[in-house]
Chain A
Amino acid sequence: MRLLLVEDDPLLGDGIKTALQREGYVVEWFDNGTDAMAAVRCEAFSVAVLDLGLPDVDGMTVLRHLRRHSDLPVLILTARDDVDDRIAGLDGGADDYVLKPFDLKELLARLRVVMRRAEGRASQVLEIGPLRIDEARHQASWRGEPVALARREYALLLELARHPDKVMTRPRLESLLYGWDEEVASNAVEVHIHHLRKKLDKALIVTVRGIGYRLDSRLQ
Chain B
Amino acid sequence: MISIRRYLTRTLALVLALVTALAITAAYLITAHEMEEILDAQLSLESRVVAGLIGPNTDLADYRRITEQLSQPGHFARLYEAGRAQPAGDGRQALLYHHEEHLLSVGFWHPDGTPQLLGAVWNDAGPFPAPQQTGYDWVEYNGARWRVFSMFDAQSGLWIRTGVHEEFFSELESKVVLGNLIPMLLALPVLLWAMGVIIRRGVRPIGALSRQVEGRNDRDLSFLDVTVPRELAGLRQAINDFIARLRETLERERRFTADAAHELRTPLAGLKIHLDNARAGESASLDKAYSGVERLQRVVEQLLVLARIDREAPSQEADVDIYPLALDLVAELWPWAQARHQEIEVTGLEALWVRADPVELGILIRNLLDNALRYTPEHGTVTLELAERDGRARLIVRDSGPGIPEALIDKVTERFRRVADQRTTGSGLGLSIVLELTRRQQASLTLRNREPHGLEVSLSWPSVSPATARRLPRPDTIG
Interface residues of A (CB under 8 A from B): 8-12, 14-16, 18-19, 22, 31-32, 53, 55-56, 77, 79-82, 99-104
Please, how many angstroms separate the alpha-carbon atoms of A101 and B420 in the complex?
Answer: 21
Partner of B420, one of A12, A31, A80, A82: A31
A143 to chain B: closest CB distance in Å? 32
Contact A79 B266 (CB under 8 A): yes
Given A11-B292, A15-B270, 18 other A-B residues pairs in contact with their CB atoms under 8 A: A8-B420, A15-B272, A15-B274, A15-B285, A18-B277, A19-B276, A19-B277, A19-B280, A32-B421, A53-B262, A55-B418, A56-B420, A77-B269, A80-B261, A101-B265, A101-B272, A102-B269, A104-B273
- The 4 A-B residue pairs with the shortest CB-CB distance in the complex, in nearest-first order: A15-B273, A12-B270, A11-B270, A79-B262
Contact A31 B421 (CB under 8 A): yes
Please, how many angstroms separate the alpha-carbon atoms of A102 and B266 in the complex?
Answer: 10
Name which residue of chain B comes closest to A51, CB basis: B266
Please, how many angstroms separate the alpha-carbon atoms of A106 and B280 in the complex?
Answer: 16
Contact B269 A12 (CB under 8 A): yes
Partner of B272, one of A22, A55, A104: A104
Binary flags per residue of B257-300, CB closer than 8 Å to A gives 1, else 0: 01001111111111111101100101001001001100100000
Please, how many angstroms separate the alpha-carbon atoms of A18 and B285 in the complex?
Answer: 9
Name which residue of chain B comes closest to A56, CB basis: B420
- Complex interface: chain A residues within 8 A of B474 (CB): none
Q: A11-B288, A11-B291, A12-B273 are in contact. Are A18 and B420 (CB under 8 A)?
A: no
Interface residues of B (CB under 8 A from A): 258, 261-274, 276-277, 280, 282, 285, 288, 291-292, 295, 417-423, 425
Contact B273 A22 (CB under 8 A): no
Name which residue of chain A comes closest to B279, CB basis: A104
- Complex interface: chain B residues within 8 A of A18 (CB): 273-274, 277, 282, 285
Please, how many angstroms separate the alpha-carbon atoms of A11 and B288 in the complex?
Answer: 7
Contact B267 A12 (CB under 8 A): yes
- Complex interface: chain B residues within 8 A of A77 (CB): 269
Residue from B261, B269, B274, B418 whose CB has the most chain A CB atoms within 10 Å: B269
Q: A15-B288, A19-B276, A22-B282 are in contact. Are A79 and B420 (CB under 8 A)?
A: no
Contact B269 A100 (CB under 8 A): yes
B407 to chain A: closest CB distance in Å? 9
Q: List 25 A-B contacts (CB under 8 A).
A: A9-B270, A11-B266, A11-B267, A11-B271, A11-B292, A14-B274, A15-B270, A15-B285, A15-B288, A16-B273, A18-B273, A18-B277, A19-B276, A31-B420, A32-B420, A55-B419, A79-B261, A79-B263, A79-B269, A99-B265, A100-B266, A101-B268, A103-B272, A104-B272, A104-B273
Contact B285 A100 (CB under 8 A): no
Q: A19-B277, A31-B420, A32-B420 are in contact. Are A101 and B261 (CB under 8 A)?
A: no
Name which residue of chain B comes closest to A105, CB basis: B276
- Complex interface: chain A residues within 8 A of B423 (CB): 10
Please, how many angstroms separate the alpha-carbon atoms of A79 and B266 in the complex?
Answer: 7
Q: A19-B276, A22-B280, A79-B261 are in contact. Are A12 and B266 (CB under 8 A)?
A: yes
Please, how many angstroms separate the alpha-carbon atoms of A128 and B262 in the complex?
Answer: 43
Contact A14 B421 (CB under 8 A): no
- Complex interface: chain A residues within 8 A of B282 (CB): 18, 22
A139 to chain B: closest CB distance in Å? 18
Name which residue of chain A comes closest to B419, CB basis: A55
Please, how many angstroms separate the alpha-carbon atoms of A100 and B272 in the complex?
Answer: 10
- Complex interface: chain B residues within 8 A of A22 (CB): 277, 280, 282
Name which residue of chain A comes closest to B267, CB basis: A11
Please, how many angstroms separate the alpha-carbon atoms of A80 and B257 in the complex?
Answer: 9
Partner of A19, one of B268, B273, B292, B295: B273
Name which residue of chain B comes closest to A9, CB basis: B266
Name which residue of chain A comes closest to B428, CB basis: A55
Contact B288 A14 (CB under 8 A): yes
B278 to chain A: closest CB distance in Å? 10
Residue from A10, A22, A102 whose CB has the most chain B CB atoms within 10 Å: A10
Please, how many angstroms separate the alpha-carbon atoms of A99 and B266 in the complex?
Answer: 10
- Complex interface: chain A residues within 8 A of B421 (CB): 31-32
- Complex interface: chain B residues within 8 A of A12 (CB): 266-267, 269-270, 273
- Complex interface: chain B residues within 8 A of A31 (CB): 420-421
Contact B269 A101 (CB under 8 A): yes
- Complex interface: chain A residues within 8 A of B264 (CB): 79
Contact A100 B268 (CB under 8 A): yes
Contact B277 A15 (CB under 8 A): yes
Please, how many angstroms separate the alpha-carbon atoms of A135 and B264 in the complex?
Answer: 33
Contact B276 A80 (CB under 8 A): no
Contact A100 B277 (CB under 8 A): no
Q: A9-B270, A82-B258 are in contact. Are A100 and B265 (CB under 8 A)?
A: yes
B412 to chain A: closest CB distance in Å? 10
B216 to chain A: closest CB distance in Å? 23
- Complex interface: chain A residues within 8 A of B291 (CB): 11
Name which residue of chain B comes closest to A8, CB basis: B420
Please, how many angstroms separate the alpha-carbon atoms of A30 and B420 in the complex?
Answer: 11
A82 to chain B: closest CB distance in Å? 7
Name which residue of chain B comes closest to A85, CB basis: B258
Q: A11-B295, A22-B280, A100-B266 are in contact. Are A81 and B273 (CB under 8 A)?
A: no
A151 to chain B: closest CB distance in Å? 14
Contact A11 B274 (CB under 8 A): yes
Please, how many angstroms separate the alpha-carbon atoms of A132 and B350 in the complex?
Answer: 78
- Complex interface: chain B residues within 8 A of A82 (CB): 258
Q: A12-B270, A102-B269 are in contact. Are A80 and B258 (CB under 8 A)?
A: yes
- Complex interface: chain A residues within 8 A of B417 (CB): 55
Please, how many angstroms separate the alpha-carbon atoms of A80 and B419 in the complex?
Answer: 20
- Complex interface: chain A residues within 8 A of B277 (CB): 15, 18-19, 22
A158 to chain B: closest CB distance in Å? 20
Please, how many angstroms separate the alpha-carbon atoms of A11 and B287 in the complex?
Answer: 11
